[in-house]
Each structure stands twice: as structure tokens, then as C-alpha cells.
Structure 1
Amino acid sequence: MRARDIRTPEEALGLIQDRGLTHIKIGLSDIDGILRGKYLRRDKAAGVMKDGLGFCNVVLGWDSSDQLYDNIQYTGWHTAYPDAWARVLPHTCRELPLEQANGHNMLFFLAEFADEKSAQICPRRLLQRVIAKAEAMGYDPYAALEYEFFVFEETPHSVREKGYRNLKPWTPGYFGYSVLRSTVNADFYQQLMDLSEQMDMPIEGLHTETGPGVLEAALGFDRAADMADKAILFKTFTKALAQKNGLMATFMAKWSHEYPGQSGHIHVSLKDKATGKGVFYDGDAPYKMSAVQRQFMGGVQRYLPEFFAMFAPTVNSYSRLVPGYWAPLDATWGVENRTTALRLIPGSEKSQRVEVRIGSADANPYLAVAAALAAGLLGIEQKLDPLPIVEGNAYTQKFDEALRFPATLWDAAQRLKGSEAARQVFGVPFVEHFAATREWEEREFRRHVTDWELARYFEII
């Protein structure tokens, strides 16, 4: 049996046994969308596959640098960081070609938190709740994600030794869609495409973007839940593959003020559960845009500013949001318009969709997909219409203040925390926990002095 055919604990255990593996590997998403995991010995895995396991809840109580939040209720020193119950998901079984064991690829499984309190905060479980809402409304949600990421001829040691300055990009200069670059560096491209095929996170398109050493990968369209799984795996194992090749890949939103930021665009559509047909398409309507798609668009436009922290979750995310660098500043929409936050892509019944262009590469894919989907579903429920379409360059036009995105992570956290819609669709425990973690992130940033401040003020002020 192939890894991707696994559906039950018994099948998973049978495959582990057949391959003579002594251990397997599991991982689950923390708040920031970083996979945290461990190896499990085969006899331990036998019980875990059926009954779950205890997983220290600190992974929901610390930041991306393992610093403990001091402003959350769910866990902390006041709870003594106990285990939370987690379950391993047999159907997520993957070959892990980057690791060999007993002549076979290591087997990797995704997991999620399962007890009542942790499930309210767990990013993967949050997306599952939003998908359940869509299904209750009669829809199957689908998504596809595109990621831009920069690659450097550096190592985790060298970037620290250099203080993250004077880094050497993998390739020099601006050369988008370069056939030359992809040919010269075909070995890495092929390794990445092969890895993505073997791990069932296939790349639909891969090309150089504008900037030194920057690539863009479009992941193949899939059900929203599977797409988010594939996205977090893609980010993690692209970085692992790069490091195994003496390179480093970064998905931070903007690594240098000299170059465009890195996006994580989200394509979303809905199918009718009963018929399997796309509900965004109406061949007789303007732009082939059905009433359901109009309402979905209206909802995403209306709630993007309130849910913004879930699309732009780091201090660095807001460095990307500047005019003229392909990152929209307002909750605008247009048809095939890449200067607006929402891009309507007319097509067939199968391809008609909405692209949420505001997402950055540093977003947790579970949270970003959940936010886009939830906002659109609210629009359908409330029968919202989008504001008038934007034509031409959105950067040069003025819009209603209500469409303006928060300018800082702190402001975004306050918008989310004060959003009744967010509390309704995501639950109060998640909203309060996530908003607090974003406040922490901003506070941590404020404790540090930047190079810009030193250069500007050290001598002259």
C-alpha cells in the first residue's frame, strides 16, 4: 500500500510494519504556522494511532523563537504547561524522501490538537470548523495557494555570523520568468518538483520572480482542508531541501526594503455539495460572476480589515504593504486587476474564482485560508454586495476609510479582538488568544533598536 492511500490507523501501522521502520515522524502547526513535531518509536506509534498522545501545550504558548507569551490565558506558568491531547491523522501519511530509514523513506504524519480547550485554539481545527460551516450551507470549499520565497547561498550559521547583513542571493539581479536561470539551476528546481510530487503537494507552476534569487511556486488546486495541509508541508520541506543543498529559503514577508515583498496569494472557490458544480460561475452575468460569488466577494471585502491579522501576522508583514510593490493597501476588488486586494478571475464553471492577493508568505496557511473562507461565507449569509469595482491602478485612487487595512500588527490585533464577526465564526477563545499573541509580537519588536534607527539618530539627532 502507498503512503497516500492510508486512511485508517490499522493501515498506517501495517505500512510501518511492512517497511520495518523503527520510528515515524509527526508534526502539527503552532500559532505561527511552524510545524512542531517529534519521532515516535513503532510500539509507541501503535497506541498513538488509535488513541492519540499527549503533546506539551507550550507549542500554543510560545512564539516563533520559543519565547513564552506572558499575556495569554490558555497556558503559561500559571497552568504549568501540561500536555494537551493530540491525534495523529492517518490520512495525512506522506513519504519523506529527505530522510531514509531501513532502506525506505521515513513516513510523516500530520497531527492536530483534540481536547476541547486546545482544539478551540489549534489552527488546523479552526479551519475545520470554518469548513464545517461551509458544508452546513451546502458548499464544498476549494483553494490554491501561491508562494514567493527568496533563496540564498547561506546557512543557518552564516546568516547569524553575518548578522543577517550582506547576504548572498542564490542568483543576482532582476530576471522574472527566466528560462536561463531555471535551466542553469535545473538540479534544484527538479529536486523541489520531485519532492513536491512525492509528498503529494504538487507544484502547478514554478518560475523565477522579480528580484535576486526569488521564486514563485503555485500549488495545485484542492479541497481547502487538504490545500492548507499541503501549504504548511511545502513551506517546511522547501526550507529543509534548500538547507540540504547548502542554500536557505525564506518565506518572511519582506527581507529587504530594496526588493518587493513575498506574497502568499489565496485562490478560493465553492462547489455545490449536491451536484459538485462550481457555484461562482454564471455564464450570463457580467464577468460570469454568479450572485453567490458577488456575495462572497462582498463578504471578503467587508471583513478583510477585521480579519487582517490572520493574513498579515508578523511585524514584518506590514513592511510589505507599501504602494507600487504589488501589495494592495485597501480592501478593493477588480477583474484581473493585480493592484487590488481581491482579484476576480473569470473562467469556466471549474475555474471561476476569487484571488485574495493580500496574504503574505509568512501567514499560517490554516488561518489565512480560514479567514478568507469565513469572510466570504458571512457575505453569502448576509447577502452583501461588493462596493463598486476598481478599474486601473488602485494605488493612485482614494477609497473609503473603512476599506483601509490596519497599518501595524498592533492595530490589526485590536481590529480582530474587537470584531463581533470574528468572535462569531472563529470563537472567542481563538480570537482572544491569537490577538494576544500578535500583541506580544509587536511588544517584542518594540523592545529592540533597528539598524534604521541607529543610522538615522546615532550621530545626528
Structure 2
Amino acid sequence: MLKPREVRSATDARAIVEERDLRHVKVGLFDNDGVMRGKYLCREKFFSSLEHGFAFCDVVLGWDVKDQLYDNADYTGWHTGYPDAPVRILPQSCREIPFEEPMLLFLAEFDRQAAAVCPRAVLRRVVERCRGAGFEPRAALEYEFFLFDETPHSAREKGFRNLKPFTPDWFGYSVIRNSVHAELYRQILDLGERMDFPIEGLHTETGPGVLEAAIAVDDAEAAADKAALFKTFIKVLAQRQGLMASFMAKWSPDYPGQSGHIHLSLRQRDSGRSAFFDPRQPHNMSAVQRHFVAGQQRLMPEFLCMLAPTVNSYRRLIPGFWAPTDATWGIENRTAALRVIPGDEKSQRQEYRLGAADANPYLALAAALGSGLYGVLQRWEPGEPVAGNAYALTQTAELALPRTLWDAAQRLKASEVAQELFGSEFVDHFAASRFWEEREYRRHISDWELDRYFEII
């Protein structure tokens, strides 16, 4: 019998569904914000879709995380009538859902015209460009996330205040915590193995109830799939245990924010050898890796809203909380936005530390990879690496990052490089969605404003 991760073609997909005698199959795709949207398809509809695709309402590309409709997007809206858009199923994405055995899950991707604004298709185009330049990109994402002893109902009843973390106090890398709660840790690790987002490392981080998981390295597209599935099904697992997992960038002013770091490397397609490793150079950095760092550094301010896509993302980017504040780079320096990790032929890489846990994995990886590739193609050279505390340095205007989502979206929309790498339709659509997000925020009155102004001003 076929195993889910052995499926490679439409023929294989049909065969595994028939072998399991499934009457329905689950399909899913990811929207602007990296939220998985999907449905069950009956067997006959699924088989037809394998050959011809199927239709999915394009509203999922035209609304926010609260299902509110953008009023400023050209691609879709009331003016288009929210038609169906073509979607193609990705047979090689087949996975078993442990909670629903023998149910199978297949990922899908928007096709034809809709591909211009589809997050997964944006990454695919960057990867294809990278391969056209002679490189095979490899990536691994790692996430911090908080667990709460809450349910979706209890969190809302509390107004998302006074939430009870799964464990108390600060206790990073705790063996006590992972031993006391060994059953939950085992469930997380088993979930990663069974759904093919294997976890290389899992440990408590600094803060109450916070964990960090490092997902195993893979080709760039597969790495993004793994990350997107990880975020989705960690939430599913937690809620099935009466808990909640949050990937919000910063839920409390008292604790560090939650990162979504991206490890990247390039391999030569013709030889399979590392394009980053050169033992003759300082820190084993090849010319390709220097150019890659330079591209990421120079374009970071322009691409920031693809890596920090919410209003809340910018609460995390403050000094002293393990999040970068400027487009800096350093050798094994965790205070910098880009951390070059010297190693050998297999392990030489760099870590894009700017990314937050709330970013869409496809878009975050597209930005990190695309900017690096552009630096390679332009043969840019980076500035001097930061030694010591990057937060303490006074940076030039070129390296300063936008401080709000509105400013970051303006930078993306005006970026000629972004238009070239990602396509003008995507850039315009995604920037519009971020302007919408910022406007939605400004419509609301915060507790801080009421406390500060209601009586006294």
C-alpha cells in the first residue's frame, strides 16, 4: 500500500484514496496571512480535481484574518463579485491527519490569474528564479509559540486578558518542564513525524508557557509547506487538549516576542555542493554568501512587511528583547538581523532573525530568499559585520527599518525590486491588504487611550 508521503502524481493520489476506501478527502490552501482555508471534497470531486483543478471562492484572497473584506484591493472585491478562482491540487503534498485517520489532506494552490497574488505561488516563482540562476535553495524555519491553559471560548470571555499560561514563570531549556509534560511534548514530536514537518529540536523558551520548535531543513518550497502546516496543526493539537497555542508576535509587554527565524543556504545545482562554503575565506563565507547577505541587508527595509505583516509585529521589534531593530548582520551574533553561521560544506548558512512567528511562511521565505538572490545577481557587497551589541549601534538611514506596518507597506509598494521579484500584481495586492490592516487598527480605541485621556485631558 502507498504511504501518504510516497504520493508523487495524480495517479498515486487516486490510488491511495481508493486503497483507503475514502469517501471524502480534505484539501486546504493558505491565504494572505498564512491562515489555512479548506474543505472536504467527495471522492468523485477530488478525482476530477486532480486532473482539471477545482474552483475556490477568491474571497479568501480578499479578506483579513477576521473575514472582513478589503475595500481597497483591485484583484477581488465587491466590484468583481467575488468569483471562483481556479485551484490546482498538489499530489506530492499528501499527508495523513492523525486526528482523523484514515483521512488524507492535500494542499492546493491558486492557479492561472489568481496565481499572481497567491502566497505559495509567489514563493514558487522566486524558487524557480533561483534555480534558473543555478542554485537550489534550502531552508528551515523555527518558531516560538505560547501555550495557554485556555480555550477559544474562555479567552474571549476574558477579553484576552489575564490569560493563564500553560506553565508559570521564566524557565528556558527546562528539563523539569519537558519531563513533567512529557506526554504533550511527545504528541508534538509525533505529530511532526506523522505529518512530515519533523522537529529537530523542541524546548522551553524564556517566558511562561513558551516553546520553541525547529523544523528540519528541506528544499525551500517544501520547507514553507512544513512551516505552514506546523503552525496550523500545533493549534489543532493544542485545542484538542483543551489548550491554546498562539503565534502572535507579542502578546504581552512583559515578555519577549515570538520569532519565526529562517535558516537559508544555497547549493550549486550542477554539483550539489554548497554555494556558501569557501574554506579559503574568512568565516568560510564564499563570495555568493557575501552577496546573499548584502541583498538581504539592503532590501530588508523594503520587504519588511512580508516578514512583519501585522500591527502587532512591530511591538516585537524593540531593543533588548531578542528581535532586531535595524538591518544589521554579524558572525554568530544573535543581536543582529542576519546571523551568519560558519560551518562546513553541509552546515554553512545564515539565519534571518528578523522574521516573526505571525508571518505567512511562504511570504517570509520569499522575501528572505528573493532579497538574497537579488544581491547575488547584482554582486552587492555587505557592510562591515556587527561585533557585540547591535542594539547599541547608531545605524545609517539606509539600514533603518520602518517602525510601523503603514510605513513598511509604503516601502514595499514603492520597491522596484519587489515589483521585479514578486510581480506588480502581488505587491499592489499585498500592500493594499497591509494598509487595510493598519486602518482597521486605527478605527479602534485602546485601553491605554481611555486610561490616559478619558478623565484628564
User: Is 2:95 aligned against 1:98?
Assistant: no
Pick one of 219, 233, 252 that aligns with 2:248.
252
**Whole-angstrom distance in 1 between the partners of 2:49 and 2:41:** 9
User: Is 2:70 aligned against 1:50?
Assistant: no
3-state SS, counterpart of residue 355 of structure 1:
strand
User: Is 2:280 aligned against 1:277?
Assistant: no
Q: Which residue of 1 aligns with 2:409?
A: 413
3-state SS, counterpart of residue 100 of structure 2:
strand
3-state SS, counterpart of residue 323 of structure 2:
coil
Pick one of 108, 111, 116 that aligns with 1:111.
108
User: Is 2:440 aligned against 1:444?
Assistant: yes
Pick one of 168, 180, 183 that aligns with 2:176.
180
Q: Output the amino acid matched with 2:179.
A: T
- How far apart are 1:50 and its partner, in Å? 1.2
Q: How many residues align?
A: 456
1:383-439 alpha-carbon deviations (Å, 9 max, x no partner) = 101011110001111111110110000000000000000001111000000000000
**Whole-angstrom distance in 1 between the partners of 2:452 and 2:320:** 25
- How far apart are 1:7 and its partner, in Å? 0.8
- 6-15 or 305-314, which deviates more: 6-15
3-state SS, counterpart of residue 98 of structure 2:
strand
Q: Which residue of 2 aligns with 1:302?
A: 298
3-state SS, counterpart of residue 301 of structure 2:
coil
**Whole-angstrom distance in 1 between the partners of 2:242 and 2:322:** 30
3-state SS, counterpart of residue 98 of structure 1:
helix
Q: Which residue of 2 aligns with 1:72?
A: 73
Q: Which residue of 2 aligns with 1:135?
A: 131
3-state SS, counterpart of residue 71 of structure 1:
coil
Q: Output the amino acid matched with 1:332.
A: T
Q: Which residue of 2 aligns with 1:200?
A: 196
**Whole-angstrom distance in 2 between the partners of 1:245 and 1:294:** 46
Q: How does 1:371-390 map to 2 (within 5 A)?
A: 371-390=367-386
- TM-score of the superposed pair, with normalisation by structure 2: 0.99
**Whole-angstrom distance in 1 between the partners of 2:251 and 2:3:** 39
- Work out the percentage of aligned pairs sharing the same amino acid: 61
- How far apart are 1:340 and its partner, in Å? 0.3
1:332-382 alpha-carbon deviations (Å, 9 max, x no partner) = 000000000000000011110010000000000000000011101110111
- How far apart are 1:460 and its partner, in Å? 2.2
Q: Which residue of 2 aligns with 1:431?
A: 427
**Whole-angstrom distance in 2 between the partners of 1:99 and 1:399:** 52
Q: Which residue of 1 aligns with 2:232?
A: 236
**Whole-angstrom distance in 2 between the partners of 1:59 and 1:49:** 21
In structure 1, list runs of 5 or more residues that go unmatched.
none
**Whole-angstrom distance in 2 between the partners of 1:164 and 1:459:** 25
Q: Output the amino acid matched with 1:238.
A: I
User: Is 2:171 aligned against 1:171?
Assistant: no
Q: Which residue of 1 aligns with 2:323?
A: 327
Q: Which residue of 1 aligns with 2:399?
A: 403
Calculate the aligned-residue CA RMSD, in Å.
Answer: 0.6
- How far apart are 1:267 and its partner, in Å? 0.5
Q: Output the amino acid matched with 1:75.
A: T
**Whole-angstrom distance in 2 between the partners of 1:458 and 1:413:** 32
**Whole-angstrom distance in 1 between the partners of 2:90 and 2:19:** 19
**Whole-angstrom distance in 2 between the partners of 1:195 and 1:253:** 24
1:179-198 alpha-carbon deviations (Å, 9 max, x no partner) = 00000011111001001100
3-state SS, counterpart of residue 343 of structure 1:
strand
Pick one of 205, 209, 215 that aligns with 1:209.
205
**Whole-angstrom distance in 1 between the partners of 2:454 and 2:166:** 33
- 406-415 or 449-458, which deviates more: 449-458
**Whole-angstrom distance in 2 between the partners of 1:56 and 1:344:** 42
**Whole-angstrom distance in 2 between the partners of 1:380 and 1:90:** 33
Q: Output the amino acid matched with 1:33.
A: G
Q: Output the amino acid matched with 1:302.
A: R
Q: Which residue of 2 aligns with 1:311?
A: 307
Q: Output the amino acid matched with 1:413.
A: A
- How far apart are 1:98 and its partner, in Å? 1.4
3-state SS, counterpart of residue 114 of structure 2:
helix
- How far apart are 1:458 and its partner, in Å? 2.1
Q: Which residue of 2 aligns with 1:223?
A: 219
